[in-house]
Structure 1
Amino acid sequence: MSLSSFKFPVSGINKLNLHPTEKKALSAILGYRMINRGDSVIVAVSGGADSVCLLKILYELRKRLNISLTVAHFDHGLRPKEDEKETEFVANLAKRLNLALVCDKATKLTKAPGSSIEEKAREMRYQFFQKAIDENHAQKLALGHNMNDQAETVLMHFLRGTGLTGLSGIPPIRQNCFIRPLIDITRDEIHTYLKQNGASFIIDSSNRETSYLRNKIRLELLPILLDYQPKLVEHLGELAFLSRQETQFIDEEAKKALKKIISNSSKHSLELSLATFNNLSCSIQYRIIRQAIEKIKGNLRKIDIRHIKSIINLVNSDKPQAKANLPENIIVKKIYNMLRFSLGDMIKTDNFSYSINNLGRFQIHEINKTISFTEISKDDFMLSAHSPEEAFLDLDKLKWPLRARNFRTGDKFIPLGINGFKKVKDIFIDNKVPSEERKKIPILVSHDDIVWVYGIRIDDRYKIKQETKRILRCKVE
């Protein structure tokens, strides 16, 4: 199980001469194995109570943990007067503690289409964090999320509709880099700690705005629920912890299953075998879909249960081929016994047609393949392995020039071993050739007759017979 979801038991902390809140933070640091001895840790400090508490606790524990600290502050530029005051406050705090300070300011924070200012602010903040980590050669970056943040996150996910993953809330460790030492500490404990230590902090006025759902939960919903259950914050924190462990177990099982059913994979495309997928339990199927999307997209933002269900419905549909469009240009296609996840639609192949006037080797640029024509003897024909990439035709029945082209609507021929014409489209369907792949298949034409559909069948009228005198070997590679 991932260390980010499991908390190891830690003994002996209660005997240490530390403040109770410092002991809780140390227990989280050691229990979740957030920090290694000798680590360089960047502490994200906004100037608010949580981040000031985080910095003070890590400062008190720095020698015990054998770590070095650097303060990082990001000015979003959304509240000009308050932002400047916070930056000055954090700079003075770092100076008093004799700690290095790295700062940056958002030049222009505007939301991208389909996103919010909050999302853009978060994106820029984490870009700054990553830059601070890289430039300072740090191993970890500490964030001030606490148990109340955890409770609010779980409630917010619950109200929006969620499963175990959403109930897991905020992870104590993310990407083995971002750590949250205060995750088991309540906001009341943080304020008590700061008061007892005479530590000041800045109050962010935007935290009082109920236009944001998180603030609305914090200021309006939680106080009502706490009247029913005073320990609700702790209970929701415990729920997140248990959900996280169970989620991690299911995810790891799904990861093992996903490896077994991937039939093809590239940077922007992933194909799964439905024959195996359909035999898996529903919970594993759901996780595999999430993991497949994450592999292609890089994250799961804007992906919710509706999208997962739409893919499950796609899989269970009677249609042999169907498509689902997900946010941010993720396309999921059911193609017979295969499920393809891709970033955008596959590039369509243009129509092509090449005149073949003689034997030799010719390039088909549109599909990056070559087709060659050689005359062979009957003895060589009898010794040939007859692979799907090649065809053997009665050369005397062919009319030059031949033409190598791709599929056209209405194409038909007499497949080998069948009496009467059959549409090439029906042959494709019978052979479960995906719609977007059909234009990539070369078709060889003599006069007006289709004589070979590459990889599938030759025309029965051009097959090699006992009386055949000359044989044409066609090969695509």
Structure 2
Amino acid sequence: MKNAKSVIAISGGIDSVVLAHLCHKLNFNFALAHCNFNLRGKESDADEAFVLDLGEQLDVEVFIQNFDTEAYANENKCSIQMAARELRYDWFSELAQQLNFDYILTAHHADDNLETFLINFTRGTGLNGLTGIPELNDNIARPLLPFSRAVIEAYAKAETIKWREDLSNTSRKYLRNKLRHDVVPILKEINPQLLDSFQSTLAYLNDTADIVEESLNAVAKRAITDMDDNHIKFKISEFKKVNNPKAYLFEMFKDYGFSEWSDVVNLLDAETGKYVISSTHKLTKHREFLILTNCHSELDSESISKNKPVTLSAVEVQKGQVKTPVGILFFDEADSLKDNNQSAIYVDAEKLKYPLELRHWQTGDVFYPIGMKGKKKVSKYLKDEKLTPIEKDDTWILTSENKIVWVVGRRADDRFKVTDQTNQIFKIELR
């Protein structure tokens, strides 16, 4: 840590100011980063001025960022505290990345850890919510975490360190302050060694969390049969083998925004096609599997354009290749007929009417699968092919005058096949 390049998240309060003095005393390579949230008028500006003076005193670089926190909270429909947290950490992360800081140092201490534990406990949480604030989380380090607020105050007074008092810390408006001023003092009165006992409890809980993670990883290793950037496929039988499937499902999928855990458990015995959706993900039952995919309530412009139908004019086709959302389509005259396959089909060129259209298949689409008698709904064809929901969603069709020429990458249509009367054979290939 001493040889690393760090930035201290400094408010001007006693904890972060003590951390800055300690890093200076230890000759650490560090800078200061202060957020002015503009929530307390002149007091906020005074905090900013104090941090600038401290930077001069310690002879270190200072970064200041001003935020319209209330506007951000209103825009994102979150509390002021949550808005400040998001703005703060997003900026620290951006700063560290741009200026190559190895660590972002925050001044959380043992009392903060206890308060966070109690907040999570009162709101309801799983085991992870009771294991405390990590001393190191990616590039965020909390070197004061083992020390109590009392020890930090004693050090500040002994070293005659000056700091700024934030009067909002005395307000009972926020849950953390209620716990800090009303609950924790009573707990410390009951047990004067509360923080020591709490540290032991955290150690036990973290040991238990390690056992849970090891067991979870073992089940995940057996259950996951396939995964890529778009989906993860889980074997249902592996969840049914364990004593408490709900607990494993919770631990496996809790980070994907799901909250209706009874519905998730019910998927194990549901019909194919049933699903549970969160704000970010979709968990679908497909035969003997659960398939986890991303889902977005609002598609970005790139996604929207990716899913738009593509019109292919005669001129574009004559050029020989067209870039599409599913790959590059190549069009070329063929001297002889070869067997159709998943990546290429051969059609009668004179039967194609322009413009062609490449689009997602839709409910009600019908085609005449080559080699079969009669017509078939695309939806029934895809079901019979036992495609996963993801594969179905990714299926496109090439059409001519609304007649399907090709279920792309899967099956050609009999109406456009090459016959003895064909004068010009056209090869259409997807790469």
Query: SS at 2:228's partner residue?
Result: strand
Once the two structures are overlaid, the 10-residue window that deviates more, 436-445 or 217-226, is 436-445
1:82 to 27, 40, 43: 43
Aligned ranges for residues 366-385 of structure 1 at < 5 Å?
369-370=328-329, 372=331, 374=333, 377=336, 381=338, 384=339
Aligned ranges for residues 132-147 of structure 1 at < 5 Å?
133=96, 138-147=101-110
The equivalent of 1:334 in structure 2 is 284
Cα 1:372–1:141 shift into 2, 3 Å: closer
The equivalent of 1:47 in structure 2 is 12
Contact 1:226 1:232 in 2 (8 A): yes
Once the two structures are overlaid, the 10-residue window that deviates more, 410-419 or 207-216, is 410-419
2:145 to 176, 180, 183: 183
Query: SS at 2:173's partner residue?
Result: coil
1:427 alignment partner AA: Y
CA distance in 2, matches of 1:209, 1:258: 51
2:284 alignment partner AA: K
2:167 corresponds to 1:213: no
The equivalent of 1:67 in structure 2 is 28
Query: SS at 1:274's partner residue?
Result: strand
Cα 1:448–1:264 shift into 2, 3 Å: closer
2:184 corresponds to 1:222: yes
Superposition deviation, residue 231 in structure 1: 3.5
2:232 corresponds to 1:272: yes
The equivalent of 1:411 in structure 2 is 365
Superposition deviation, residue 48 in structure 1: 2.5
Query: SS at 2:143's partner residue?
Result: coil
Cα 1:454–1:214 shift into 2, 3 Å: same
CA distance in 2, matches of 1:319, 1:52: 58
Superposition deviation, residue 83 in structure 1: 3.1
Query: SS at 1:100's partner residue?
Result: coil
Query: SS at 1:189's partner residue?
Result: helix
> Which structure 2 segments of 5+ residues have no match?
none
CA distance in 2, matches of 1:79, 1:444: 63
The equivalent of 2:307 in structure 1 is 349
The equivalent of 1:320 in structure 2 is 273
Contact 2:366 2:378 in 1 (8 A): yes
CA distance in 2, matches of 1:131, 1:464: 59
The equivalent of 2:397 in structure 1 is 442
1:263 alignment partner AA: M
CA distance in 2, matches of 1:356, 1:217: 72
Superposition deviation, residue 78 in structure 1: 1.9
CA distance in 1, matches of 2:372, 2:166: 79
CA distance in 2, matches of 1:42, 1:353: 53
Contact 1:322 1:335 in 2 (8 A): yes
CA distance in 1, matches of 2:179, 2:96: 33
Contact 1:355 1:401 in 2 (8 A): no
How high is the TM-score relative to the length of structure 1? 0.67
Superposition deviation, residue 86 in structure 1: 3.7
Cα 1:249–1:387 shift into 2, 3 Å: farther
Superposition deviation, residue 170 in structure 1: 1.4
1:167 to 123, 130, 144: 130
Contact 2:275 2:283 in 1 (8 A): yes
2:64 corresponds to 1:100: no
Query: CA deviation digits over 1:83-129, x for unaligned, max 9?
Result: 34444555555555x43251525253322322222223233433554
Cα 1:217–1:399 shift into 2, 3 Å: same
2:144 corresponds to 1:202: no
CA distance in 1, matches of 2:329, 2:130: 55
Cα 1:457–1:254 shift into 2, 3 Å: same
Once the two structures are overlaid, the 10-residue window that deviates more, 45-54 or 359-368, is 359-368
CA distance in 1, matches of 2:223, 2:285: 20
CA distance in 2, matches of 1:374, 1:234: 81
CA distance in 2, matches of 1:153, 1:75: 24
CA distance in 1, matches of 2:95, 2:402: 68
Tell me the matched-pair count: 406
Contact 2:406 2:412 in 1 (8 A): yes
CA distance in 2, matches of 1:90, 1:469: 86
Query: SS at 1:151's partner residue?
Result: helix
Query: SS at 1:218's partner residue?
Result: helix
The equivalent of 1:423 in structure 2 is 377
The equivalent of 1:263 in structure 2 is 227
The equivalent of 1:24 in structure 2 is none
1:206 alignment partner AA: S
CA distance in 2, matches of 1:462, 1:442: 14
Cα 1:86–1:469 shift into 2, 3 Å: closer
Cα 1:108–1:322 shift into 2, 3 Å: same
Superposition deviation, residue 218 in structure 1: 1.3
Superposition deviation, residue 215 in structure 1: 1.0
Once the two structures are overlaid, the 10-residue window that deviates more, 250-259 or 48-57, is 250-259
The equivalent of 1:109 in structure 2 is 69
Cα 1:472–1:245 shift into 2, 3 Å: farther
CA distance in 2, matches of 1:389, 1:132: 47
Cα 1:315–1:372 shift into 2, 3 Å: farther
The equivalent of 2:197 in structure 1 is 235
* Backbone CA RMSD of aligned residues: 4.5
CA distance in 2, matches of 1:439, 1:57: 57
Contact 2:223 2:234 in 1 (8 A): no
Contact 1:102 1:132 in 2 (8 A): no
